């Protein structure tokens, strides 16, 4: 059956097909000038080795490749190419790359960059990604630039700062008989825990963040960097690749109740929502999350529009309130409370966050002026004494991990995630689901059993903590840090949504928000999408399914390959069990559901299905 890619991913743009490079047990996928999924005997050793050039807002340039040559034999492969990046004001960066791999487990990726003019960048050089599955918390040997070698471990809980600095090499065990050493030359490298941003990797990158950025690469000065991977194996026969048969689904014991499902509402959304109340009622969210930002002009009229919607749809309500924190805190929050009263807005909770905390403070940077959060929360409690008070970050777990809020003053904590901070290809976005259990477990380690909310978390980025703005995306491409994403409009988003809920279910969340109602993060289609304008996007079915599960006991649902099939199950007080399955891949996947009282089924790419 021919698959309509427009329906799958919301765009007819096709990602570049990877070229599989092989030399004996060593293999890697060559994509757009970089290496992904580097394996030995079918086992992943590194997730990627990539030469990355970033702009002043941390956006990633897409180099134009030329003179590409690929040679392969049974026991060796080689690749060479030239590439250019075009920056603002006519600036240009050219580089020449070579990649060589051999059956003895050696891989060398070498790049010489030559700016044709002064070239401004936040980062120019290699990024090496170590996977997290099976590797988090495991022993490694770290060699520093001064020659010292330290036996240590990769972080298990997510490290808010760089776990390793001044890196020259890192060695880890791939399997009991296989080890891998990755050596980095040409600059000073350090590692960050990319699980902070829901990336499924530890990232070793060039140029310490403590150094100034953006910085300028001077015209005519060559910069050369080399990554050398050496895989040593004591095994006579490399491990076989993982079997690709039917994925088995199994159920365990019931646990905590599945969370309320929220929908984020902006002031500009309200009229559309009111015109589609019947659709909202069919969806059935338990919570409406109203976004209120006086620093962007939201005032009494916005709160009155929220009040109309709260009266028309009787769900629990939370005000996500940004506060300027530039003057008297009591006066500022009392004004918000007075406007809420005058608007007649019924609220069950308010979450507050200083506006400045929406911007990230990277390691080595000075924290911006901000009143102590103890004072902020105390003023909020005085202004809203009769409803629940939440805090945390309206940005991502990264920021909450680095600025740990005084949760004892709060009734709940909250943060968001976004899968396209660093990469926006389909595989990376789906792989981001692997990081979510580490995020929730790390949050629980910090804040204990404090009621915990996540969201709004969407594929697209609603704000950019790392630069001046999110990226516009009028051509509906796969772009990192974009404020809209075509996959939100396709079946991809439905599968990602079920996968997301499945991965965070064991954390016992109080509330989960994975969409708006309208707009780029919403459930209703705009013009030019895979479904008719104004009709529900495919993600609607996924959110509706989560709404139906809310309040049911989470039943531990596992699959034999969680990279391909995600499972989420809930059990009612009467004993009825409902299971949602999602195919996280662009291929048909056979699924064994005999443990659910069903037989086998074949799930189409990015399909979701309900059993029970």
Of the candidate ranges 11-25, 236-250, 326-340, 457-471, the one whose mean pLDDT is the lowest: 236-250
Give the Cα separation of 571 and 129 in Å (integer): 39
Strand partners, 396: 416
Stretch(es) of the chain classified as CATH 3.20.20.80: 259-550
Tell me whether the omega of the peptide bond preceding residue 450 falls within 30 degrees of 0, making it cis.
Answer: no
Of the candidate ranges 182-191, 452-461, 465-474, the one whose mean pLDDT is the lowest: 465-474
Helix (H) or strand (E) holding 467: none
Could you please state the CATH topology (level 3) that the domain comprising 243-255+551-612 is classified under. Immunoglobulin-like (2.60.40)
Higher pLDDT, 241 or 72: 72
Output the 3-class SS for 91-127.
CEEEEEEEEEEECCCEEEEEEEEEECCCEEECEEEEE
Measured CA to CA in angstroms, residue 339 lies from 215, 298, 308, 384 at distances of 45, 11, 14, 12
Contact criterion met (CB below 8 Å) for 510 and 504: no
Contact criterion met (CB below 8 Å) for 426 and 408: no
Give the Cα separation of 566 and 557 in Å (integer): 9
**For the segment 8-27, what is each residue's pLDDT rounded down to a tens digit?**
999 999 999 999 999 999 99
* Joined tokens for residue 162: 């760089």
Percent of the chain whose predicted confidence (pLDDT) is above 90: 93
**For the segment 254-310, what is each residue's pLDDT rounded down to a tens digit?**
999 999 999 999 999 999 999 999 999 999 999 999 999 999 999 999 999 999 999
Task: Give the model's confidence band at 479: pLDDT under 50 very low, under 70 low, under 90 confident, else very high.
Answer: very high
500: how many CB neighbours lie within 10 A of its CB? 29
Stretch(es) of the chain classified as CATH 2.60.40.1180: 243-255+551-612
**For the segment 414-430, what is each residue's pLDDT rounded down to a tens digit?**
999 999 999 999 999 99
- What average pLDDT does the segment 549-558 reach? 97
Candidates 1.10.1760.20, 2.120.10.30, 3.20.190.10, 3.20.20.80; correct CATH number of 259-550? 3.20.20.80
CA 609 to chain centre: 24
Q: Give every strand in the sheet of 247-257, ordered side by side.
A: 600-603, 589-592, 247-257, 553-559, 565-571, 577-583, 608-611
**For the segment 359-401, what is each residue's pLDDT rounded down to a tens digit?**
998 888 889 999 999 999 999 999 999 999 999 999 999 999 9
Higher pLDDT, 237 or 414: 414
Measured CA to CA in angstroms, residue 180 lies from 35, 76, 172 at distances of 16, 18, 6
Q: Is the pLDDT of residue 1 over 50?
A: no
3-state secondary structure of 344: coil
**For the segment 565-581, what is each residue's pLDDT rounded down to a tens digit?**
999 999 998 999 999 99
Q: Is the pLDDT of residue 235 over 70?
A: no
Could you please state the CATH topology (level 3) that the domain comprising 5-233 is classified under. Beta-galactosidase; Chain A, domain 5 (2.70.98)
* Joined tokens for residue 608: 């979701």
Stretch(es) of the chain classified as CATH 2.70.98.10: 5-233
CA 165 to chain centre: 24
Closest CA to 169 of 155, 148, 154: 148
- What average pLDDT does the segment 41-53 reach? 96
Place of tokens 């016992």: 508
**For the segment 147-195, what is each residue's pLDDT rounded down to a tens digit?**
999 999 999 999 999 999 999 999 999 999 899 999 999 999 999 999 9
Give the Cα separation of 256 and 587 in Å (integer): 33
Percent of the chain whose predicted confidence (pLDDT) is above 70: 98
**For the segment 55-110, what is each residue's pLDDT rounded down to a tens digit?**
998 888 999 999 999 999 999 999 999 999 999 999 999 999 999 999 999 999 99
């Amino acid at each position: 059956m021919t698959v309509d890619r427009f329906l799958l991913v919301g765009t007819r743009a096709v990602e570049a097909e990877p070229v599989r490079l092989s030399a004996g047990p060593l293999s890697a996928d060559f994509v757009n000038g970089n290496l992904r999924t580097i394996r030995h005997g079918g086992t992943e050793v590194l997730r990627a080795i990539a030469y990355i050039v970033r702009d002043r807002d941390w956006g990633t340039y897409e180099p134009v490749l030329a003179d590409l040559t690929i040679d392969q034999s049974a026991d060796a492969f080689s690749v060479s190419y030239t590439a250019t990046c075009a920056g603002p004001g006519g600036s240009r960066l050219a580089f020449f790359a070579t990649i060589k791999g051999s059956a003895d487990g050696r891989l060398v990726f070498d790049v010489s960059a030559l700016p044709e003019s002064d070239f401004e960048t936040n980062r120019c050089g290699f990024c090496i990604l170590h996977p997290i599955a099976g590797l988090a918390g495991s022993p490694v040997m770290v060699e520093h630039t001064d020659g010292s070698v330290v036996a240590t471990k990769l972080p298990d809980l997510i490290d808010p700062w760089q776990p390793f600095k001044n890196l020259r090499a890192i060695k880890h065990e791939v399997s009991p008989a296989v080890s891998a050493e990755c050596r980095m030359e040409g600059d000073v490298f350090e590692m960050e825990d990319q699980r902070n941003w829901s990336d499924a990797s530890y990232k070793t990158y060039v140029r310490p963040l403590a150094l100034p950025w953006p910085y300028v690469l001077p015209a005519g000065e060559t910069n050369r960097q080399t990554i050398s991977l050496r895989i040593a194996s004591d095994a006579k026969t490399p491990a076989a690749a993982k079997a690709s048969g039917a994925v088995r689904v199994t159920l365990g014991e019931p646990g905590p109740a599945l969370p309320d499902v929220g929908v984020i509402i902006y002031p500009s959304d309200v009229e559309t929502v009111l015109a589609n109340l019947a659709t909202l009622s069919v969806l059935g969210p338990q919570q409406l999350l109203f976004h209120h930002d006086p620093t962007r002009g939201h005032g009494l009229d916005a709160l009155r529009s929220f009040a109309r919607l709260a009266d028309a749809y009787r769900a629990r309500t939370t005000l996500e309130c940004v506060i300027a924190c530039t003057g008297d805190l009591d006066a500022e929050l009392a004004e918000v409370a007075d406007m809420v009263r005058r608007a007649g807005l019924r609220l069950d909770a308010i979450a507050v966050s200083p506006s400045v905390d929406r911007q990230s403070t990277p390691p080595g940077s000075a924290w911006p002026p901000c009143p102590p959060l103890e004072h902020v929360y105390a003023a909020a409690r005085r202004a809203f004494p009769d409803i629940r008070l939440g805090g945390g970050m309206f940005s991502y777990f990264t920021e909450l991990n680095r600025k740990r809020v005084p949760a004892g003053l709060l009734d709940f904590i909250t943060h968001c995630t976004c899968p396209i901070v660093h990469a926006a290809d389909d595989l990376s976005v789906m792989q981001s689901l692997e990081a979510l259990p580490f995020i929730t477990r790390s949050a629980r380690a910090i804040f204990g059993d404090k009621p915990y909310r996540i969201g709004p978390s969407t594929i697209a980025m609603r704000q950019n903590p790392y630069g001046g703005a999110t990226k516009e995306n009028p051509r509906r491409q796969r772009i990192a840090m974009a404020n809209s994403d075509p996959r939100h409009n396709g079946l991809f988003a439905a599968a990602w949504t079920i996968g997301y809920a499945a991965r965070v279910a064991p954390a016992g969340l109080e509330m989960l928000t994975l969409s708006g109602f309208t707009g780029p993060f919403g459930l209703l289609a705009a013009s030019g999408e895979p479904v008719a304008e104004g009709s529900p996007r495919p993600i609607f079915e996924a959110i509706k399914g989560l709404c139906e599960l809310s309040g049911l006991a989470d039943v531990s649902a596992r699959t034999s390959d969680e990279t391909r099939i995600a499972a989420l199950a809930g059990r009612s007080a009467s004993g009825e069990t409902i299971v949602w399955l999602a195919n996280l891949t662009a291929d048909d996947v056979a699924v064994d559901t005999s443990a659910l009282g069903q037989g086998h089924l074949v799930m189409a790419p990015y399909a979701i299905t309900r059993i029970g």
